Chain A
Amino acid sequence: MLSCRDVAQQASDHLDITDEPGLKPSMQMRLHLLLCRHCRRFIRHLRASRTLAVQVQQKHQRCEQGERILRQVKRDKPES
């Protein structure tokens, strides 16, 4: 039987497993989560904070240096 410590330790892997349509968490993990509301909350919080971080990062993903970079690429290495 997994302990809460084990579940917390495997929580990140659990997100990756449940993200994949073809994969299922182990029976032990499913059983533990069925019975333990603290671990369910831990995993819910882990997932929510990940989603928040993804949304924050997405807003900073774009740079506006494309023209400068392309100019440099063409200047540094003119086409032979």
Chain B
Amino acid sequence: MLYYPLINSGNAWRCNWARPRRSLCIQWAGVQTTQENLPLLSTISTLNVTPSTPDEQLVSAAQQGAEAALVELINRYQTLLLTVARAIVGQAHAEDTVQEAWLSIYRSLDRFEGRSSFKTWAVRIVSNEAKTRLRRESRTVALDEAELERPRLDENNFKNNGHWAAPPSRWHSETPDALLEETQLKRCIEKTLSLLPERQKAAFMLRDLEQQPLEEIADTLTISNANVRVLLHRARLTLLQVVEHYQETGQC
């Protein structure tokens, strides 16, 4: 797909793609496009946008006005940003917060210089939008403090001396690939993930999917490092219990 930013488009895309700035913004600035003032060939973004196009290429194309590239970035990160927003402002305000975040991203994309990954930058923006929203509305989200306490494992599993009373049982298959072939188990995991409390889900996604450092997750969710570890502990134990149960019963 070949993009000729603004030249073929009636939409007043912002000039944020103007790199180098002298070259573009033709319709937006109300300047007639002629053969002479067409942008240099090197400034025209040519990008075949697919789900496997690297973020850096999408960002660069989006900065030059390729809307399809921005749409692809939204498709990739909307779910993650929604999860982060839900963890901070709660379910009811999450969608609006993420919408605001995309607007901020849209407006400041030209200033994004790639010092961090686009994903990290976008998460930071939605986190800031969420915190600002809470402050603006002088609102606090009712936190389940018990969720931030490290849960005790089932005492029935252990003897008084701390040794296993009921050791972990053998699984029919232990490799993730073999587990993935179990359709019913996948459904159990999907259901469990959808039911995880928002902060546990966010911690799980930021850490285990996105592999962010614990300190960064703590900052994003405005909780302590220790609390992030507790949320991860809870989420992972819940998921483990689902697999354990499935191995024993073949059901969720």
Contacts and interface: CB of A to CB of B under 8 A. Distances in A.
Contact of B233 (A12, A55, A77): A12
A45 B171 CA distance: 8
A70 B71 contact: yes
A72 to B, nearest CB: 7
A27 interface: no
A5 B186 CA distance: 29
Interface in A6-63: 6, 8-9, 11-13, 15-16, 19, 38-39, 41-42, 44-46, 48-58, 60-63
A69 B168 contact: no
B75 A64 contact: yes
B239 A49 contact: yes
Contacts of A79: 12, 14
Interface stretch (B1-9, B128-136, B155-163): B155-163
Contact of B186 (A3, A42, A56, A73): A56
Contacts, number: 145
B209 A63 contact: no
Nearest to B82: A63
B209 A9 contact: no
Given A9-B153, A12-B237, A38-B167, A69 B78 contact: yes
Question: Chain B contact residues: over half helix, strand or loop, or mixed?
Answer: helix
Interface string B70-84: 111111101110000
A19 B208 CA distance: 10
A73 B106 contact: yes
Interface string B201-224: 000110111010010000000000
A52 B78 contact: no
Interface residues of B, number: 60
A48 B176 contact: yes
Interface string B10-29: 01101000000000000000
B176 A55 contact: yes
A50 to B, nearest CB: 5
A62 B81 CA distance: 11
Interface stretch (B31-39, B85-93, B137-145, B240-248): B240-248
Contact of B99 (A19, A55, A72): A72
Contacts of B76: 61-62
Contacts of B161: 3
A42 B168 CA distance: 6
Given A49-B243, A54-B208, A61-B209, A76 B99 contact: yes
12 contacts: A6-B162, A15-B236, A41-B167, A45-B244, A49-B179, A50-B239, A56-B193, A57-B193, A57-B205, A57-B209, A61-B76, A66-B74
Given A48-B174, A48-B175, A55-B180, 11 more contacts: A39-B164, A41-B168, A45-B244, A53-B204, A58-B209, A61-B79, A63-B78, A63-B79, A66-B74, A67-B71, A77-B103
Q: Which 10 A-B pairs have the closest CB atoms?
A: A3-B162, A66-B74, A66-B71, A12-B233, A38-B167, A51-B176, A66-B75, A49-B243, A5-B162, A63-B78
